[in-house]
Structure 1
Amino acid sequence: MEQAEIERLVGGPPRLSLAEIGDHPRISEAREVFLDRLLGLYSGDPHTVRLLIESGRFLVYHIAGVLDAGVDPARRETWLTITRLKQEMSRFGLASDRHIDGLIARLCSTGFLDLKPAEQDRRVRILKPTEKLKAHDRDWLAAHVAPLAVLYPEHDYRSVMDRDPQFHSLYRRISIGVLPLAASLLLSLPDTMLFFNHAAGAVVQAELLRAAMRAPDHPAAAVPYADVGKRFGVSLTHVRQLLIAAEAASLVRLHARGGRRVEILPRQWASYDRGMAVGMYLHDLVYVATERASRGAGAGQPTVVR
């Protein structure tokens, strides 16, 4: 996405650049806050971890929520059909049509999505995020904006941190325009994708980094595979294979069996902070655009987001 297109989407120049976020002197403090918020969101809930924390599963839930916020019943092209969801998923190239069908069925069976005939045309089936999904998404967004509030306390992120439903709905509607940029930036982060492409990978990585940040033997930490697997609803073997893959990518060094001593290598710290900065950059872009759209609507001007 060109800079001019980003400015058109946001309604002016971005407030923050990716470089200044990534180079912020308090980035390690922001990282600790983010790890705490992310693990707080999923700890003690292995069912939700298994259901949502993997690239394909997460994107089905996330993109469905974004597209639903932009639905206009009078405009068929905005309807959240399975076909439209698959079209947006194809930007990320992370799941096959058959895989997406299975994920949708699972999300419907667990109360995160509904699939019903459209009122305007009963031949067309429409996906609809439930309040359960929306509430989780508000919590998820607050966790991801929290590090921005650490780095930039002069900016007001209360509407997301307070989980304002109206602001959240508009935020997600505006997020539709950012999907191409988000896909491009996410796929440019191979180390992030290594964890993201494994079930529970993102929270296993978060637990590993937080343990290392707090360990007396920093940057090494003890993360017993069996304990971590039980906590996040995956097997000991799954955790071990994930960390073996991370070691092959020069992200960690395994010094003892069973996760008793895992050393975090410099590349892992740098790549995690890069991925976190990308997320913060995207969230601030959308936050600023949402604030501007809210002010425009409050002044009696129509809010149009395409």
Structure 2
Amino acid sequence: MGIAFMNDGVPETLPCISHETRSKWLLQRVAILRRNPNFGTAATDYANGAVRIFEGRYMANKVMANVARQVICMSILALHFTRSNGNHGATISSIQNITSGLKLCSKNTTAATIDLLENIGLVTRVLDESDHRNHLIQPTNKMIFGIRRITGIALSAADKLFPSRHYKQLIEGSDDFVERYFASSLHSLLNISTMISKLHSSKLFAISDGGGILLCKLMSMKGQPSTVTENTVCFPYDDIGHLYGVSRTHIRRLMKRAEAEGLVRLLEDGGRRIDILPPLNDVFENMVAAHIARAQFDIHLANKDYDLLPIDRTPDYYAV
């Protein structure tokens, strides 16, 4: 089960950028991105891209259901591709150290999620040659391809804001760069709990199964011909649940909690009319900006764009 988020006590992982500096930079980056005049368009494209990838793909939704499962998937990739930096790969205990250290979920939940990933062919277990008591959790090409596509959503949005950077082109480039990108993502992963806890109401959708994609679907429906007004949408729980493999009851409870937090107004039963209130726009834009900020940080770190990163100390001796 999910447990309370923590905001400190995370170990330092970079010799040039402290956890505190990285946290401040990411949060400041969220604010900067949201002030970009093209951010509204980028956020809409992000929502539509997420809907295209996840709609009708029940197992993908299950794998990336909440922030804890997302961190588990990214931790496997990050630890696997940092082997050349003195680590020997992802083990159950190393992944559990990340999820329990961030207080995202219990060690048992982490182990169960890894079992799920193995059962559906996203990871394999191989004997750890350096310690035969352990098995390494290795991502399959299926996982790498899937996470690469999901990452591409955030980078496409970043390209809308900074077209000269060609972010998505980088992630679609050589496998060598992609491996460096996933290795770099280990560092920003450790800021997940700080970002969620400090961004207004983000926790509600982050920890709820399917919360992120349901939010994207809800926001993508604004302004469509079927809407009553620009901010009032038809979001029938039965139909939406069928699209994303979650129950009607689960969506109803999520929307009830969102209404209690002042994010929406439920005008008709079953989600037939939902009024999207301004605070929900903030939650959505914060979520999108947080994903873009993390992707930018990881891209710049993988590409060694130190002039674009919040360096604490000179990186002369540092290489990712």
TM-score, normalised relative to structure 1: 0.87
* 2:293 aligned with 1:290: no
* 2:191 aligned with 1:181: yes
* 2:236 aligned with 1:221: no
Aligned residues: 292
CA distance change for structure 1 residues 67 and 195 in 2, over 3 Å: closer, same or farther? Answer: same
* 2:214 aligned with 1:204: yes
Q: How does 1:91-130 map to 2 (within 5 A)?
A: 91-130=101-140
| Paired residue secondary structure (2:198) | coil
Between stretches 63-72 and 234-243, larger displacement belongs to 63-72
- Amino acid paired to 2:176: Q
* 2:144 aligned with 1:134: yes
Task: Note if contact 1:69-1:172 (Cα within 8 Å) is conserved in structure 2.
Answer: yes
Q: What's the offset of the Cα at 1:260?
A: 0.5
* 2:91 aligned with 1:81: yes
Question: Aligned residues: percent identity?
Answer: 21
Q: Which residue of 1 aligns with 2:62?
A: 50
| Paired residue secondary structure (2:137) | strand
* 2:235 aligned with 1:235: no
Q: Which residue of 2 aligns with 1:258?
A: 270
Unaligned ranges ≥5, structure 1: 295-300
Corresponding residue to 1:279 among 291, 311, 318:
291
Q: Which residue of 2 aligns with 1:297?
A: none
Unaligned ranges ≥5, structure 2: 1-11, 307-315
Task: Note if contact 2:66-2:210 (Cα within 8 Å) is conserved in structure 1.
Answer: yes
Q: What's the offset of the Cα at 1:302?
A: 10
* 2:264 aligned with 1:249: no
TM-score, normalised relative to structure 2: 0.83
CA distance change for structure 1 residues 59 and 181 in 2, over 3 Å: closer, same or farther? Answer: closer
Q: Which residue of 2 aligns with 1:37?
A: 49
1:175-197 Cα deviation digits (max 9, x unpaired)? 22223334321332352221121
CA distance change for structure 1 residues 272 and 6 in 2, over 3 Å: closer, same or farther? Answer: farther
Distance in 1, Cα, partners of 2:169 & 2:79: 20
Q: What's the offset of the Cα at 1:41?
A: 1.2
Corresponding residue to 1:169 among 179, 183, 190:
179
Distance in 1, Cα, partners of 2:189 & 2:51: 25
RMSD over aligned CA atoms reads 2.7
| Paired residue secondary structure (2:129) | coil
Distance in 1, Cα, partners of 2:305 & 2:140: 25
Task: Note if contact 2:74-2:186 (Cα within 8 Å) is conserved in structure 1.
Answer: no
Task: Note if contact 2:216-2:284 (Cα within 8 Å) is conserved in structure 1.
Answer: no
| Paired residue secondary structure (1:132) | helix
Between stretches 139-148 and 154-163, larger displacement belongs to 154-163
Task: Note if contact 1:91-1:183 (Cα within 8 Å) is conserved in structure 2.
Answer: no
Task: Note if contact 1:146-1:161 (Cα within 8 Å) is conserved in structure 2.
Answer: no
Distance in 1, Cα, partners of 2:137 & 2:65: 20
1:65-122 Cα deviation digits (max 9, x unpaired)? 12211123x94x4431111111111243121111111111111111111122212332
* 2:164 aligned with 1:154: yes
Q: What's the offset of the Cα at 1:199?
A: 1.5
Q: Which residue of 2 aligns with 1:304?
A: 319
Task: Note if contact 1:141-1:160 (Cα within 8 Å) is conserved in structure 2.
Answer: no
1:104-159 Cα deviation digits (max 9, x unpaired)? 11111111111222123322211111111100011011011111111111222143
CA distance change for structure 1 residues 172 and 263 in 2, over 3 Å: closer, same or farther? Answer: same
Distance in 2, Cα, partners of 1:163 & 1:135: 13
Task: Note if contact 1:251-1:268 (Cα within 8 Å) is conserved in structure 2.
Answer: yes
1:173-232 Cα deviation digits (max 9, x unpaired)? 122222333432133235222112122111111111111243351101001000000000
Distance in 2, Cα, partners of 1:115 & 1:42: 27
1:218-276 Cα deviation digits (max 9, x unpaired)? 10100100000000001111111111111111111100011110111110101221222
